[in-house]
Amino acid sequence: MQPQGVDTAPGRVRRWLDELPVGLAPLLIAATGLIAGLYLLVHPVPDQRADLTMWVFGALHADAYQAAAERFVADTDRTVDVQLINYNAVNQKLRSALWAAVNVPDLVEIEKSAAGGFFRGPLDKIGFLDLKPYLERDAILDRVPAHALAAYTDRGAVFGVPHDIHPVLLAYRADIIDPYLARRGLRMEDLATWDDYFRELRGLLVPDERYLLQIEYGDAWAFQIFLMQRGGGIFGPDGRLRMDDDIAVATMTWMIPLVADPGDRKVAESLGNWDPSFYRGFIEGYYIAALCPDWRSSQIQTFAKELHGKLRVVPLPAPVPGGLRTSQMGGTMLGIARSAKDPELAWRFARAIYYGSPEQHGRLFRTTNILTPDRRAWSDPAYHEPRPYWSGQALGEQFIAVADEVPPFYSSGFLPSAQAKLNEAIVSCYSRYRSHGADGFEAYVRQRLTSAADHVRRQMAREPEWDAEE
């Protein structure tokens, strides 16, 4: 039955509407979308993105760079978007961005232990730009200690510039140790080797209540510090794995008894490295000294306010007379993406924040205690100010004094794997020493480290010859 008035105009329209394939509503939606899309095509929203994007995982860095970004705009009329990203997230985001080739930041700060993972693959495909030409061109190489670049160099290319050096000193309870030594006519600086240290301070040891040093033996953090102090390392400059060489064996054989010896022969203990217990232990005198890279000194200042005026830093006692009195732990690099639209501009900003005025670095030192690699900045007064927290020491001077001796750290894409294996080995050696004592310990250590290293070597063997491929 035909609806009434079918031949009139409204009737024809109604009939046409009835014949539509999917009905009126979806068509209206589609039409709206189409019109909106066409409008945007004709009148696109202007691109709000800044000229440069930078990813940073340290909150204090972010604040400093933000200030620098504002000055940069004033100087160059180009904007920089400094984004603060969680430390754990930045690596994943970067990796995803590189894989998808979308939203890759122009500049990014990466932590040293993760950096190696980004240097795998064909040299010309690595996501970071080789900054060596820029460093040479702008004569920055002589301003920065050579060892600081080691961690970010791969196959001759420099993929990142170091933010820091992170020398390691010994932070100790001056209020406990200094008087004790003074009574015997000694000073802390006189304890030049670890043997001296433990021997002279033995009188302060109270088992279960007071230990002479905080050494964490659940992971390889402390071990690596000692290892590098002795000239060793996990990887060598050629990417070779050396975590089982003689130096490593010697370090392990020396370190484990410190924490694993029974009764009052045990001189070191730990309550964890990163949680509140670490600070608690220091405050309560459970241990009276701790290994202290420069960044750690600011953490101690922040979380152990009770120790104000009671701590001092000295160079590490050496492993042997005349040996190295410092070590290295941690690091951050700044890299520029290979896909950055304007690498020159990015480098300019990098220079502004990394190799800027001494006063800029001095300010950073005041808030973070981190020593910049840029030698020229070391003249800034901030580095020479006495610090009441540190019993009036000029903290900056202490770190500067050892800065040039800091041993180089060599990266590799297999660093996380090697560190995991090393952690395992340390725990095994600890258990072994606890149950069997010194008997046959060195042989065990050697065998254990070798098997751990071989595991990593097997993985490394699978790595294809990236640069030989076409």
Partner 1 sequence: MPLRTARTAPYLFLAPFVLSFLIFGAYPIIRSVMLSFYITSGPEAQHFVGLDNYLHLLQDPDFWTAVRNTATFALGSVLLQLPLSLGLALLLNRADIRGRNVFRFIFFSPNLMGLVFSALLFMLILAPRFGLLNAALHALFGLPSTTRWLSTPSLVMPALIMVALWLYTGFNMVYFLAALQAVDGELYEAATIDGAGRWAQFWHVTLPGIRPVLIFVVVLSTIGSFQLFELAFLLLGNSSGPDQAGLTIVMYLYQNGFLGGDLGYAAAIGWTLALMVLLLALVQLRITGTGKEAR
Please state the separation of Cα 427 from the chain's center in Å. Answer: 24
Minimum gap (Å) between residue 102 Cβ and partner 1: 11
Of 54, 98, 181, 289, the residue at the interface with partner 1 (CB under 8 A) is: 98
Q: Which of 8, 32, 92, 447 binds partner 1 (CB under 8 A)?
A: 92
Q: Where are the beta strands (DSSP E) in 41-79?
A: 52-56
Contact 417, 241 (CB under 8 A): no
Query: With respect to partner 1, which residue has the nearer C-beta, 73 or 420?
Result: 420
In angstroms, give the least distance from the CB of 10 to partner 1: 18
User: Minimum CB separation from partner 1 for residue 15, in Å?
Assistant: 11
Q: Is residue 469 within the footprint of partner 1 (CB under 8 A)?
A: yes
Nearer residue to partner 1 within complex by CB, 117 or 330: 117
- Smallest distance, Å, CB 291 to partner 1? 17
Task: Give Cβ neighbours of residue 258 (< 8 Å, ≥ 6 apart).
Answer: 198, 213, 215, 266, 267, 268
Window 396-455: residues binding partner 1 (CB under 8 A): 413-414, 416-417, 420, 423-424, 427-428, 431, 455
Among 5, 33, 37, 122, binds partner 1 (CB under 8 A): 122
Cα atoms in the Cβ-side hemisphere of radius 13 Å centred on 204: 28
Q: How far apart are CA 144 and CA 408, in angstroms?
A: 13
Q: Residue 213 CA to chain centroid, in angstroms? A: 24
Choose the binding region for partner 1 from 125-133, 256-264, 292-300, 308-316 (rule: CB under 8 A): 125-133
Residue of the chain from 57, 118, 355, 410 that contacts partner 1 (CB under 8 A): 118
Binding mask 1-40 for partner 1 (x = CB under 8 A): -----------------xxxxxx--x--------------
User: Using the rule CB under 8 A, is 470 a contact of partner 1?
Assistant: no
With beta carbons less than 8 A apart as the criterion, state whether 168 and 291 touch: yes
In this structure, the number of other CB atoms found within 10 A of the CB of residue 59 comes to 10
Q: Which long-range contacts (CB under 8 A, 24 or more apart) does 130-136 make?
A: 130/157, 130/158, 130/159, 131/158, 131/159, 131/160, 131/161, 131/335, 131/336, 131/347, 132/156, 132/157, 132/158, 134/347, 135/161
Nearer residue to partner 1 within complex by CB, 83 or 113: 113
59-76 helix and 358-368 helix, angle to the nearest 10 degrees: 160
Beta strands 332-336; 289-293: pairing state: unpaired
The strand pair at 393-394 and 386-387 is best described as antiparallel
Q: Answer yes or no whether residue 351 interacts with partner 1 by CB under 8 A.
A: no
**What distance in Å separates the CA atoms of residue 344 and residue 341, rounded to the nearest whole number?**
9
* CB closer to partner 1 out of 285 and 323: 285
Give the binding site for partner 1 (CB under 8 A): 18-23, 26, 88, 91-92, 95, 98-101, 114, 117-118, 120-122, 125-127, 208, 216, 218-219, 271-272, 274-277, 280-281, 286, 413-414, 416-417, 420, 423-424, 427-428, 431, 455, 462-464, 466, 469
